Amino acid sequence: MSLPVSLPFADRLQFVETSAIRELFKLLGTPGIISFAGGFPDPALFDVEGIAESTAAVLANTPGPVLQYGATEGYNPLREQLSKFMGNKGVTVAPDGLIVTTGSQQALDLIGKTMINPGDKVIVEGPTFLATIQCFRLYGAQVISAPIDANGVDVDALEKLIDEHRPKLVYLIPTFGNPSGATLSLERRKRILDIAVRTRTLVVEDDPYGELYFDQPPPPSILALSADVPGSRDWLAHCGSMSKILSPGLRVGWMIAPPALLANATMCKQFSDAHTSNLTQATAAHYLTLGRLDGTLAVVRKVYAERARVMAESLQRELGGAITFNAPQGGMFFWAKLTEGRDASAFAKRAIEKLVAFVPGAPFFAHDADKSTLRLSFATVGVEKIEEGIARLGQAL
Ligand code: PMP
């Protein structure tokens, strides 16, 4: 059987490409490599026992509903648990004020699908989560970046860009950003709410990392703060995820948004995957009733905090003069910059030869990439390997 030479693919595919990161990931199977490249949580920290207990319980107690088709909006017991979970984080939301999505990635896709016309402008942070840039581009968006610093997006610059471009939406990762590791200050969060109301612009708050703080909790989410700014909730969508706090394999995320956006996203989700797996939704819901999450998160926070501390010390020791970096207060990433304008992708190639991997920063920029930047994840690497890996980076440089 011969394959067709060229299928008549949709024009929209021209806006996206297989990411540079994927190419790099092919090399990660090399034996002996120490990888700071991934964006995965550490599987050794998954609460397998609690998840197994939850799966067994829901199969024993409610086999019909969890193995059957379900509602597109989500499995009601999970929506109730998520409403409580968000309540503990200062967000008042009724169970029907949120929908469950297949990972928060799907929420971002549904936002793109429901909001973006070809040629529309959207504003993201520079740098930001690569899959969001690609997803919005697939819908034909012109993606514009706003600069960030250690305290998150530069709100003065963002406000100017909004006034100039009148974007369809602004996408932010305010807490322990990927890839930046940066956290938006409380004062800037409040200003974003005022700007959203004044300019009548939808702000999408993506928050998969907020629970992974090291010493102290981050400022309340923009959504939580919206309670103090009349009218602001009409301009906010908030994406949450179980991926970094429980398990990404469950593919359970959620979106809180104004009713009209939730309704349209639900309609589009219906044509996409009908609903998120009831089995994993029910498992997550049961897990949240067990009272194990606090203990699980306490361990994850402690382990990640220690790894981040060792990574900061090692970077300072081994690459001190050649690199500047932020020291994140939570999450999974260090964002670093090579001094003297050195190119991080050439450095990545030399690093692979020394059996250590990281991701060059350029692909995380929608435009005007800073080629001297790089992202290092400490989440899956033990402290001894972190020391060894960063020493190898020192040699590669
Ligand atoms: N947003 C950000 C900022 C992420 O880093 C990720 C995954 N690493 C996602 C969304 C998607 O996560 P998931 O679909 O597993 O919830």
Q: Band of the pLDDT at 6, cuts 50, 70, 90? A: confident
Length of the chain: 397
Closest Cα to atom 5 of ligand 1:
178
231: left (phi over 0), alpha (psi -120 to 50) or beta: left
Location of each CATH 3.40.640.10 domain in the chain: 49-290
* Ligand 1 in reach of 206 Cβ (< 6 A): yes
Contact 171, 204 (CB under 8 A): yes
Q: Band of the pLDDT at 23, cuts 50, 70, 90? A: low
Closest Cα to atom 11 of ligand 1:
105
Is residue 310 over pLDDT 60?
A: yes
With 0-12 / 13-18 / 19 or more C-beta atoms within 10 angstroms meaning exposed / middle / buried, residue 368 is: exposed
Q: Tell whether omega for the bond before 248 is within 30 degrees of 0, i.e. cis.
A: no
* Ligand 1 in reach of 104 Cβ (< 6 A): yes
Does pTM surpass 0.95? yes
Closest Cα to atom 13 of ligand 1:
103
- Tell me, what's the pLDDT at 371? 96
Q: What is the pLDDT of residues 149-164, one digit of tens each?
A: 999 999 999 999 999 9
Q: What is the pLDDT of residues 117-133, one digit of tens each?
A: 999 999 999 999 999 99
Is residue 1 over pLDDT 80?
A: no
The preferred substitution site among 183, 211, 239, 241 for testing ligand 1, maximizing ligand atoms within 8 Å of CB, is 241
Contact 331, 178 (CB under 8 A): yes
Average predicted confidence (pLDDT) for the chain: 96
Location of each CATH 3.90.1150.10 domain in the chain: 11-46+295-396
Q: What is the pLDDT of residues 352-366, one digit of tens each?
A: 999 999 999 999 999
Is residue 3 over pLDDT 80?
A: no
* Ligand 1 in reach of 39 Cβ (< 6 A): yes
* Ligand 1 in reach of 178 Cβ (< 6 A): yes
Q: Which residues, at least 6 apart from 147, have a Cβ–Cβ distance to it below 8 Å?
A: 126, 153, 154, 157
Contact 116, 168 (CB under 8 A): yes
Q: What is the pLDDT of residues 263-296, one digit of tens each?
A: 999 999 999 999 999 999 999 999 999 999 999 9
Alpha helices (H) in the chain, listed in sequence order: 20-25, 48-61, 63-67, 76-88, 103-115, 130-138, 155-165, 186-199, 222-225, 259-272, 278-290, 293-319, 344-353, 383-396
Alpha-carbon distance of 19 to 92, in angstroms, equals: 38
Is residue 337 over pLDDT 90?
A: yes
CA 104 / ligand 1 centre spacing (Å): 6
Nearest to 389, CA basis, from 305, 318, 324, 300 = 318
The preferred substitution site among 102, 111, 129 for testing ligand 1, maximizing ligand atoms within 8 Å of CB, is 129
CATH of 11-46+295-396, one of 3.30.70.260, 3.40.710.10, 3.90.1150.10, 3.40.120.10: 3.90.1150.10
49-290 CATH: 3.40.640.10
Closest Cα to atom 9 of ligand 1:
105
Q: What is the pLDDT of residues 237-268, one digit of tens each?
A: 999 999 999 999 999 999 999 999 999 999 99
SS3 category, 124: strand
